[in-house]
Amino acid sequence: MINTKSLRADFPILSRKVHGKRLVYLDNAATTQKPMQVIQAVKSYYESHNSNVHRAVHKLSDEATEAYDEAHEKTASFISAGSYEEIVFTKNATEAINVVANDFSRKLKKGDEIVLTQMEHHSNLVPWFNAAKMTGAKIKYAEIDGNGELKMQQLRKIITKKTRLVAVTHASNVLGTINPVKEIAEIAHDKGALAMVDAAQSVPNMPVDVKKIGCDFLAFSAHKMLGPTGLGVLYGREELLENTEPLVFGGDMIKEVTFENASWNDLPWKFEAGTPNVAGAAGFSAAMDYLIKLGMGNVRKHELQLAKHAMKRLSEIRGVEIYGPQAEKRTGVISFNMKDVHPHDVSSILDSEGIAVRGGHHCAMPLMRLLGIQGSVRASFYVYNTMEEIDALIDALNKVKKIMKV
């Protein structure tokens, strides 16, 4: 199990005060805090190894290249990919999804269909809108039920021989719902379609094995799993990546250039144009080491305990409505509203108590509309959060009720 007491000492930011109060950071679905080990890895990279990668033949360049390549290998092992060739570093999960959507925008034809779900983040909606607009392909949506879970029968119906791709979030950033992505990938493959998983909210929070899921592509971001900002991951099956066009051209992504033409570098470098985020990769390696030491199964267990406690305590407050399924079926993400109080007001009052949550549409406007709300308050937990912090959230919400007179 995770010992939060000793672990919290690794996170310098957790000892700071906000508005004179102890910081209670519950906005982890947006981005997580960084332990000393990650901060130190970035610092040490710049202090002792900084250089460009894959280019010069000197000691520093060798060291930087080794750190950068090693981060690809560690990522491959972290999600059980076949090899580092299947791991492309991007700017973030959004860019990773865009790499695939860009390729589809060259290959789809009128009459082809893409299947998404009603619970997608804008990052797994808008790139597909663009692909559909460019090609005349059609987008269909898998619906959600009253518990915030996918209606699997309806999903089975809309995936047909016309479907080219099913792109689905592994875990919703609003409802917390964990989707049966293995089953969805099987349904897609049965109809000859590919399956892409938006794993921005799953890889940080539970063991994820791309081979077991059987997906073709998968995207996530380092900053949501203790790593630095500015680094995302696209996993793709090797033979698919071989046939995927790069999104950005120039720099390290070429093999041969003449005045007339160019050929692309080997995987994964053909997708990594220009000088990459080497310091970010060094930090990401340290983040993965940290999580591996904790054990992703323990991360999941810890979040589940927190989610159970939070849902129980939240449901004791009159006028609080929680969205999404029971704790066992979700990650440590809990969206809720307080009757007659705008989520921004709730978030502002919580902030004045030192409690950081997210209030708003969470980059899921269509889902908000479907739920009949403008936004929600979202508390999301990670490895360093404690039961006491959830109790502090509950006390502060009771204060909101008093201040807002509801």
Ligand X SMILES: Cc1ncc(COP(=O)(O)O)c(C=O)c1O
Nearer to ligand X, 137 or 363 (CB): 363
As measured in angstroms, the least distance from the Cβ of 173 to ligand X is: 3
Taking contact as CB under 6 A, which single stretch among the options 8-16, 89-97, 178-186, 383-391 is the one that binds ligand X? 89-97
| Alpha-helical runs (H) found in 79-228 | 93-107, 126-135, 152-158, 181-190, 210-213
Cα–Cα distance list, 49 to 24, 58, 282 (Å): 35, 11, 10
> One symbol per residue from 358 to 377: x for binding ligand X (CB under 6 A), - otherwise; what is it?
--------------------
E strands in 191-238: 194-198, 217-221, 232-236
- Pairing state of beta strands 262-264 and 333-338? unpaired
93 in contact with ligand X (CB under 6 A) = yes
Structure tokens at 211: 């081979």
221 in contact with ligand X (CB under 6 A) = yes
As measured in angstroms, the least distance from the Cβ of 31 to ligand X is: 8
226 in contact with ligand X (CB under 6 A) = no
SS3 220: strand
DSSP code, position 178: B
> One symbol per residue from 102 to 131: x for binding ligand X (CB under 6 A), - otherwise; what is it?
-------------------x-xx-------
Choose which of 198, 303, 353, 389 interacts with ligand X (CB under 6 A).
Answer: 198
Contact 395, 364 (CB under 8 A): no
Non-local CB neighbours of 9 within 8 Å, separated by 6+ positions:
none
Taking contact as CB under 6 A, which single stretch among the options 88-96, 320-328, 380-388, 398-406 is the one that binds ligand X? 88-96
Contact 405, 374 (CB under 8 A): no
179 in contact with ligand X (CB under 6 A) = no
Q: Which residues are catalytic?
A: 363
Nearer to ligand X, 170 or 401 (CB): 170
Residues engaged in binding ligand X (CB under 6 A): 29, 92-94, 121, 123-124, 169, 173, 198, 200-201, 221, 232
